[in-house]
Amino acid sequence: MVGGGPAGGAAATVLAAGGAGVVVVERSCYDGFRVGETLPPDVRLPLERLGAWDRFEAGGHLPSPGIISAWGSPEPYANDFILNPYGCGWRVDRNRFDAMLAAGAEEAGAVVLSGSPVEACRRVAGGWEVTVAGSVLTAGHVVNATGRSSTFGRSLGGRRVVYDRLVALVGFASSAPADRRALIEATAEGWWYSAPLPDGRLVLAFQTDAGPGLRARWPEFLAAARVTAARAAGAVAAGEVRVVPAGTSRAEPVAGDGWLAVGDAAAAHDPLAGLGIHWALESGIAAAEAVLAGSAGVEAYATDAARRFDRYLATRVDYYRAEDRWPDAPFWRRRR
């Protein structure tokens, strides 16, 4: 298992519980930069499948009652979770969340090597040799859970198909409003996401197309978003603005002889779709079950992943077409 994020942690837990010998190789120590994410109420289902729900509830994550949107109209409207059968949504501390899943994988019997980047990976008779910290590990299967990066996927025989150049400019304010709902607001050059985090900060992310000088335009982008700017008013900026990839892309193929991809390594989605961690957990579980089922299971996994991605592409177009205030703006025209 190369990568110990949500997809890798989920796959490792199911594989180990199914009797497979599993080693998770994770380059971080679960202490780096990660943007907090909003999880939908039905994330409870994959977490229960992993036996992680009770631990998640006790993990200090922030309940979220819903989402506010200024999309298709300058006036915000609410989508609350009050009638959802699975309860509230959640705002998670990603480092804490990922470490929780890694601990669950260890309890299931997996070995987790954190702070251990892969140095080499090569095919040998009967499987793979993966070099980590000077030691060579042998494996019958490699699960690629390395996220959007295509470097490791290419070493397994795959390539990356990229659909757009979306990036997110991410900044933080040192204090958050009392309203715990996430806010999405469209502007002529992209759209904003903001939400309180469990540590009391407010995360602000502006999604737009990649280009030069984006960090310097942060105040300009924020001033164009009336509702978001009002929410952030009076908050003290905390740290620099970062630019992170946020575009749509997929692995081609998603599986091959002795390997498969999960989570963002298999398919990375526009943040507007809200699939992030939920997709990572579901794909990690499905991939592990596929490996345990043998070659027929892996083939079925790849077919299902392709179908799900096609459905996502159609839904993505519908989402963007629902915002029609700037039909000639390049950002919106590219997404229709």
- 239 and 119 in one domain? no
Report cis status (omega within 30 of 0) of the bond before 253.
Answer: yes
Query: Residue 289 falls within a domain, yes or no?
Result: yes
- 226 and 208 in one domain? yes
The domain that contains 28 carries what CATH number? Answer: 3.50.50.60
Taking the mean position of all CA atoms in its chain, how far away is CA 57?
A: 20
- 275 and 211 in one domain? no
- 112 and 135 in one domain? yes
Query: Residue 80 falls within a domain, yes or no?
Result: no
User: How many domains is the chain built from?
Assistant: 2
Hey, what are 231's tokens? 């929410």
- 230 and 138 in one domain? no
Instruction: State the pLDDT at residue 263.
Output: 96
- 207 and 128 in one domain? no
CA distance 101 to 13: 8
Domain that holds residue 229: 167-245
Considering the chain, what is the average pLDDT of its residues? 93
Average pLDDT over residues 313-336: 96
Helix (H) or strand (E) holding 191: strand 190-196
- 120 and 49 in one domain? yes
Torsion angle, alpha carbons of 52, 56, 58, 63, to 10: -150
Amino acid at 94: R
The domain that contains 229 carries what CATH number? Answer: 3.30.9.100
Pick the last residue of a domain from 245, 262, 280. 245
- 202 and 263 in one domain? no
Model confidence band, residue 236 (pLDDT cutoffs 50, 70, 90): low
pLDDT in tens, 129-187: 999 989 999 999 999 999 988 778 888 888 899 999 999 999 988 888 888 899 999 99
- 214 and 278 in one domain? no
- 158 and 181 in one domain? no
What 3-state class would DSSP assign to 82? coil
Predicted structure pTM score: 0.93
Other CB atoms within 10 Å distance of the CB of residue 318: 8
Pick the last residue of a domain from 228, 245, 262. 245
- 134 and 20 in one domain? yes
